Structure 1
Amino acid sequence: YSISPTSSIVINYDSAKNLAMKLNCLIRILPLPFLFSIASNVVYSKVDFTTEVRPILSEYCFHCHGPDKSTREANLRLDLSEGALKDLGGYSAVVPGKPEDSELVFRLHSDDKDELMPPPETGKRLSAKQKKILEDWIKQGAEYEEHWSFLPISKPSVPTETRKTKSAHPVDRFIAKKLENGNFSFAVPSDKKTLLRRLYFDLLGMPPSPDEAKQFLNDNTESAYDQLVDRLLADHRFGERMTVHWLDLVRYSDTIGYHSDVFMEVSAYRDYVIDAFNQNMSYDQFVIENLAGDLLS
């Protein structure tokens, strides 16, 4: 016997251990529908289809049950709601609100290698957490969401001021709201020297000169930081720094590089991208000009 130091309750650990073992055995032999019925009153956090469910289906299901007809099995599509919900002859892959009646859940938990999904020969197995995400999603109604790129553009309302930020800038409000939803906090404010180095490396790709550092560190006005940001954004090196990332993305090169090192006169595009950043060209205009090119002239 053992006595808790915080109460007068006497605990028999041998009895508790035996009880736990019996419960474990009971859980193993109970049918899946009964276990789901026990959990019917449990409150689940909302499962996000785009960030939680779709990645699982894409990784483990879409190869055989996705948009590609050449690899599709059993004439079943799980990338579309109508495919997941359709009658397969008295049953459906997904039954909204009823994971215990969903063939998808049954296949995930099956002990029969001919029924288990994904098939054992694929070498892929869902984790317990991933299975629970799918089960919770089905229990919550199995709502599909279209890919964000197919949804109409809408202007979201700016979150109200929170305890995490007093900033009036919309970007800060959205960041603060996301942090608050995740129960995170902003990092503590950095000292001036750290901020100075971060700005220079982020915006120009190089450290400040001794004179530039001294000028900022000796400026104790409230607008010192804002003025430094504006000054660096107006620096021609800002466009050069940002252009490096874009040119890497489009695989820019001044030479052919494949079978010879012959120079190519394509620097006009490089200069165009630098000017676009330095002139603060809007993103939509930049995309239009890159896609349309000389068709706009």
Structure 2
Amino acid sequence: MKLYRTACFLSLWILFSSAPVAHAGDRTDMPELESLIESLESLQGQLNSPDDMMKLIQQRMGPYYPESRPMDGIEFFEKEIRPILAENCYSCHGPEEQKGDLRLDRRASAFDSRDSGAVIVPGDMDASRLLKVLSYNDEIRMPPDGKLDPKKIGLLTQWVQSGAPWPEDTPENDKAETSLADLIAKAKSSHWAFQPVHDPVAPDPQLNGWSRNPIDSFVAARLEKENLTPSDLASPGDLLKRVYYDLIGLPPTWNEEEGFLKDPSEEHYEAIVDRLLASPQFGERWGRYWLDVARYADTKGYVFNQERTFPYSHTYRDYVIRAFNEDLPYNRFLIEQIA
């Protein structure tokens, strides 16, 4: 008898430790616990297994036992259905990618009618193509790398049969584009990179005498709009240093600077620009940006149990530098690397 009473106490302790904390006004007092234990003792001859004991305790505990309250439709979706969709479907039909123009993280998209048949039809298991695809009873089988566990398919079937409850999308999500095609269409209508090339008319700013070419006119117009005053023209020495650093990343030598200071004419400046563009250092300077994008490296860094260098990696580096120095067209540059 003592052993049985101890088992009852232990069962109740497990139940209370797993149950949600109740408010002070709802707590079960010790006399009620004692009454429950006495009931268990009086019925011990009718309890043929631990499962029978647990069922009786659940009935008596009522709202204190977390599994005694059935979940409503939305709660069932959030706890059981959405995790299945997120784990198995969102990688191809979620926020980042929408294969087949289908998005299963949005109610509007999941319930939308489609030419191939509705993906989810609340209450109609036969018409819901999602269940056919997941059960491998369709020409398309998802997930493609293996059929879902029967328990998960059962939960999805139960959910559809109960009306497929799904919380409404927020207004922000309703307005959001649901496919890659929508995003591209929006970009084409607003982003500068998708706009057709046109020849704009240079503005006529009030900063007379400052603009030396049409580009200066655009700069001056913006400066006027922001109520800013343009900087003074750079000195010949500063101008020379800027073009050297911009084109080859190196400063001019003392002799080069002295030569330009003696003749800071526009013709001399243009000759220097042409010489720097033809310099091997131009490709070394600007090719580094592409090499950074491609994550180029000569070595693997600090490694001790394997070869530290990438054999022949320098051939790709030299190719990029050569492409910049030869002014290789960008489309050809990409084609050669893909090939």
Query: TM-score interval w.r.t. the shorter chain?
Result: 0.3 to 0.5
TM-score (norm 1): 0.45
TM-score (norm 2): 0.40
